[in-house]
Structure 1
Amino acid sequence: MGTNIRTKFHEDREIKPVFELSRDFIGTYMLSPIGRSIVVVVVVEVVVVVVVVVVVVVVVVVVEVVVVVVVVVVVVVVVVVVVVVVVLVVVVVVVVVVVVVVVEVVVVVVVVVVVVVVAVVGVVVVVEVVVVVVVVVVVVVVVVVVVVVVVVVAVVVVVVVVVVVVVVVVVVVVVVVVVVVVVEVVVEVVVVVEVVVVVVVVVVVVVEIVEEVAVVVEVIVVKVQVVVPKVRFTT
């Protein structure tokens, strides 16, 4: 204990300043084997912590990059699938519209031919021509409306989701079917009207023939009644 106290004084027994004592103590301690071991351990721990932090940061960055790439790939795939589905739906709708238009044109041509043929035989040419014109105009308007609706639906389909596309396509198909049914009903009604007109014309002709035959028979009867008394008187 006394020896340790002596080391802290000069030869003239004056006390060293505190910072000099601290410096001597730290230098002596750090230069000792234990001090060097502790310094080495601390340095190794700092290096290990820095390496672990760097590795963790690199791993996190790599994982985030991989996740972003995967998300981008999935989004691109989904967009491509949606575009393909939309294109297919638009193609199907266009094909259906073209088929419906062709069928309607064929039906209109057939109706026009039938009406013209019947009109040549009948007396109601003007009425039948008017009916044909009305039917043709209605069919053309319906076809134009259907084509416009299909184009609008196709443009909207490109923007909306696949479910909305399917719903719109179903609605368009239903509208086309209803239009076709209405056109067919109108055509059938026109045909029925033409048949009725022909039947009426035939009945009128038959009635006129019967009336003419009745007149001829009456004339013959009158002549017979006039001739018979003369024959009896002469006999």
Structure 2
Amino acid sequence: MSKAKAETAEKAAPAKRLSGEARAASFLEAAADIVSDEGVHAVTMEGVAARAGVNKRLPYRYFDNKDELLIALFDRVMKDLRKRAIAEIGDRDGLEARIAGSVRAWLETYDEKGPLIDRLMYGDEAPLQEKANALKQYWADDWAVITNKSLGLPENAARTVAHIMLSATLGAVAAHRRRLLPLEEIVRIYTMVATEGAATVTKLYPDG
């Protein structure tokens, strides 16, 4: 077969058939690329299809609309972050291990997906704002339970400490992105500030 005929046959060959799960994942990856490169506002179902190299109608077999696709992308990114945090924490218990593992996972994930996370978590798209706010509340509640259990703080004081610690993760991310210190040193500093600061708060509540 001549080179020209071989190239024609290759172009005419049908695209590799993917499983439903793999095809949906390919659309999420395409959407992630668009969000990272251009922002959430740039995502369209047709644009995702084009980025994935398929017919523009195919994404609608897996997602009803852009909002549903973006929410699925948000859920996948946060699921991956949670899995990484669980792996970092391992079988260690207590506030210090929880904080160190969570912050390390957060910083490592930012290294890989910083623009994507920023735009999903802090954008102005209504469905994503609702997801992000619900997730932040979940994290705050989770850390409040650990803080209460570890230090015996009253419930609302523990919740306040948890919110402050979570807000401070943005500072840790900023320090890491500027490469002010090695990642592990930032994790140690954040963990020290968070745990010792939380322990100091207990002095305000000597009776628990």
TM-score where L is the length of structure 1? 0.25
Of structures 1 and 2, the larger Rg is shown by 1
Name the structure, 1 or 2, with higher relative contact order (CA <8 Å, separation 6+).
Answer: 1
Which protein has the bigger helix share?
A: 1
